[in-house]
Amino acid sequence: MAPGTHVVATAGHVDHGKSTLVRALTGMEPDRLAEERRRGLTIELGYAWTTLPSGERVAFVDVPGHERFLGTMLAGVGPVPAVMFVVAADEGWMPQSEEHLVALRTLGVRHGLLAVTRADLADPAPALEDARDRLAEAGLGDVEALPVSGRTGEGLDGLRAALDRLVAALPAPDPRAPVRLWIDRAFSVRGSGTVVTGTLPAGRVEVGDELELDGEPVRVRALESLKEHVESVTGVARVALNLRGRIAPQRGHALVTPGAWTATSLADVRVTMAEGARGPLPARLTAHIGSASVPCEVRPLGAEAEGAAARLRLARPLPLHLGDALLLRDPGRGQGELRVLARATVLDVRPPELRRRGAARERAKALADASASAASLLRTHLLLRDGELAAMGCPPGGRPVAAGWHADPDHWSDLSTRLPEVVRRYAADHPLEPGMPVEAARHELGLPDRRLVTALVRPPLTVADGRITTTGRVVAGTAGLPAPVAGAVRALLDDLAKAPFQAPEAGRLAALGLGPRELAAAVRAGALLRVAEGVVLAPGADARAAALLARLPQPFTVSQARSALGTSRRVAVPLLEHLDREGLTERVDEVHRRST
């Protein structure tokens, strides 16, 4: 689709000439249903478009003005960035004008213009001045206001020029933004299959793209914008997509970029009451976002007040980001009562459970300073991955602490402080083990990924063979060994004091109660020297052996070494290999070695 296409919704009281004005501007019939044309009453959303004097194209979403169709009106306005507000000169401001304005203000629509219709039937000045003031108070600013007549064509050229200025002032949407296309029509076309339409607010859709619809993959087979076949389209735009997939779409569903949104039926929000609405909110309301209209339960989390925190439980999951605005409406209110009650700004799409007494009040306090930011999310969730933050609408700004994980700084600092103590306690409880398994530390710290544990390790801690140990704490001797093991090692060292190189046989080790685990603990404590499996000597025995072997005629054989050391071949061979590894001896040939 060529650049320079914009989307504007209509708003205003029933029978004030919204559809007539769109028809006059575009030459197209926005009322699609025969009943609408017969009754002169817009019931469903209508669509029409035209080219403005500048060459820019504008598409109109024409909404019904009758109070019975407020939900349909919200479905049309929800995804649209700007509004053309219509007030009739001969009737002026009316009840549904007010409700539409409250809805626009609550949804956060801040761009628009005012068209005072039927200027051929009454002086438009009073209605224009009154409506303009009301729009300004509602946050639309000093909007352009023009008297027009859809019947005679009066003022249409000026309106087209005003529309040009309006769309030129709209903020440019991000073509790289993740797609969330709220569906406002879904139907089947013979020979093509499922077709959906909607307003694309940002991002890009291309033929062949795979999107998600209620968690199911769908593929874009073909793409139209304003009845033109295109290969790609960027927001803001009116689009029709021919889809291939197993799920049947409906109005209120959304096509989204896979993995870029969090589908949730539970959200913590900040509630701001609509102008003229009074609390407390009913426990059951209807939430509107985009074209979706979903029943929900409202649970206040703290004191009822402007900007109070609440938890919404939606009847079905919706794809949401932090910062999204939902409009809360009471469809059961009587005639003449304001049904648009509040704006709910999303603060968390994965809120924690409220299990303890007083948890709701604590959660309200935590949300009081919450914002649509990764830092705010991490204060609650403590640890989140890159993809989780992006799907919640807050791509991380800082570097991850480990393997794509981001951490709340205070929580990460606390974990760094706790890990050495956790390792110390484990060593005290398991003195014969070579260190704390990383998995055990992960469980003790309540972490979701082993890589987070290793990222926390700082000297004097170190990680080797899947275990965390403390470097620099080994002191030769039996200190720190369990009493039975320490006693057995001392008895063994007494034996070795008499014959330093006669390593004890397996039977002697067993009699002393020194199995593999006990020997390993003694070696780690520096109380014994292991030269090979099952061959242990006193600490420093290798240096003493090297000194004795240096006195031999060089080079020497294994037999000569065995005799000099007063030991057996069972000990001499692995001891010489140990000395080779330590650089105290070296091989000359297959038979001889020499001291270095």
Q: In which residue ranges of the chain is CATH 1.10.10.10 found? A: 540-595
Burial class of 205 by CB neighbour count within 10 A (0 to 12, 13 to 18, 19+) = buried
Nearest CA to 116 out of 139, 94, 137, 138 is that of 94
Summarize pLDDT for 507-553 with one digit per residue, the tens. Answer: 999 999 898 888 888 887 788 999 988 899 998 899 899 999 999 99
Task: Give the chain's residues under pLDDT 50.
Answer: 1-3, 33-43, 472-476
The answer for residues whose C-beta is within 8 angstroms of residue 67's C-beta and 6 or more apart is: 14, 95, 96, 99, 335
DSSP structure string for 438-488: HHHHHHHHT-S-HHHHHHH--TTEEEETTEEEETT---SSSTTS-HHHHHH
d(CA 267, CA 313): 7
> Which token pair is 410?
């205070």
Domain 410-470 coded CATH 1.10.10: yes
Nearest CA to 90 out of 132, 133, 119 is that of 119
The answer for residues whose C-beta is within 8 angstroms of residue 505's C-beta and 6 or more apart is: none
CATH architecture, domain defined by 262-398: Beta Barrel (2.40)
d(CA 449, CA 469): 19
Nearest CA to 347 out of 258, 252, 266, 261 is that of 266
Nearest CA to 347 out of 319, 361, 366 is that of 366
pLDDT at 106: 86
Q: What is the DSSP letter of 151?
A: T
d(CA 584, CA 551): 13
pLDDT at 424: 87
Q: In which residue ranges of the chain is CATH 2.40.30.10 found? A: 180-256, 262-398
Q: In which residue ranges of the chain is CATH 3.40.50.300 found? A: 5-169
CB atoms within 10 A of CB 98: 17
Length of the chain, in residues: 596
Summarize pLDDT for 262-271 with one digit per residue, the tens. Answer: 999 999 999 9
DSSP structure string for 228-261: EE-SEEESSEEEEEEEESSS---TT-EEE-TTSS
3-state secondary structure of 146: strand
Q: Token match 């404590």: residue?
A: 525
d(CA 275, CA 294): 22
d(CA 377, CA 362): 16
Domain 540-595 coded CATH 3.10.300.10: no
Domain 5-169 coded CATH 3.40.50.12170: no
Burial call 372-399: b when 16+ CB within 10 Å, e when fewer? bbbebbbbbbbbbbeebbbbbbbebeee
Q: What is the CA radius of gyration of the chain?
A: 39
d(CA 229, CA 247): 24
Q: What is the DSSP letter of 402?
A: B
pLDDT at 496: 92
Fold classification of 180-256 is: Elongation Factor Tu (Ef-tu); domain 3 (2.40.30)
Q: Token match 């649970």: residue?
A: 299
